[in-house]
Amino acid sequence: MIPKTTFNLKVGLVGNAQVGKTTLMCKYVNSSFDDEYIQTLGIHHLQKKETLKYSNILFTLNDLGGQREFINMLPIVSEGAVAVIYLFDLTDPESLNSIKDWYAQAKGLNQKAISILVGTKYDLFLDMDPEYQTNVSQVATLYSEAMDAPLVFSSTAASINVKIIFKIIVAKAFGLDLSVPEITQIGDPLLIYKSLGNLSKK
């Protein structure tokens, strides 16, 4: 039996403090959710191995603390990463606005990395009024198009659109097709990825 090849994929997670970077990473790696906020000081590092049909994927995930004093550590997270996940809190418009700065700085360090835009706390977002939901969804969609980044609305608390983020990264990194249907209806957990972040276009 031919041994499977293992591909090492480094992934960075960036965004403002308290948007849910560490929570998402722990949910994906450990299948656990802790709603108690623990501030990341510097960089939080976890690994997860995924077994595919013909190969293995070893994800090395690096979550950068969102406080500005840690910005000097951004090169550690961004350089050499196959993908950078930009996270914002769907209930906090300022965290979405800050994505512009995070994107400019991280992209400046790694032009080739696949960008993924993730809106967190979708379960709480559902409690916001419809006008707010529409506005945030439209702005996030515009950002994702400008960044050429798949857009995912997720909830670690409700286990919505967590694993799919990393399936998209694998698909984009290796030029594979995903059969997961897109979700484009405002109010639903948006999942828009097919035409965005394709390496063949870069």
pLDDT bracket for residue 31 (50, 70, 90): confident
Token digits for 88? 């914002």
Return the pLDDT at 41. Answer: 52
User: pLDDT tens across 48-89, in order?
Assistant: 999 888 899 999 999 887 566 567 788 889 999 999 999 999
Return the pLDDT at 37. Answer: 46
Return the pLDDT at 3. Answer: 77
Asked if the model's pLDDT at residue 94 lies above 70, the reply is yes
What is the mean pLDDT of the segment spanning 19-40? Answer: 75
Return the pLDDT at 171. Answer: 94
Asked if the model's pLDDT at residue 10 lies above 50, the reply is yes
Return the pLDDT at 33. Answer: 53
| CB-count exposure of residue 7 (10 Å: 0-12, 13-18, 19+) | middle
For the chain, the average pLDDT equals: 90
- How many Å is the Cα radius of gyration of the chain? 16
Token digits for 125? 């977002």
For tokens 């041994």, the residue is 3
Asked if the model's pLDDT at residue 201 lies above 80, the reply is no
Specify the pTM. Answer: 0.91
pLDDT bracket for residue 128 (50, 70, 90): very high
Domain coordinates of the chain in residue numbers? 11-201
Q: Is the model more confident about 42 or about 30?
A: 30
Q: Is the model more confident about 176 or about 39?
A: 176
Asked if the model's pLDDT at residue 113 lies above 90, the reply is yes
d(CA 84, CA 62): 9
Asked if the model's pLDDT at residue 36 lies above 60, the reply is no
Q: Domain 11-201: what homologous superfamily?
A: P-loop containing nucleotide triphosphate hydrolases (3.40.50.300)
Return the pLDDT at 43. Answer: 78
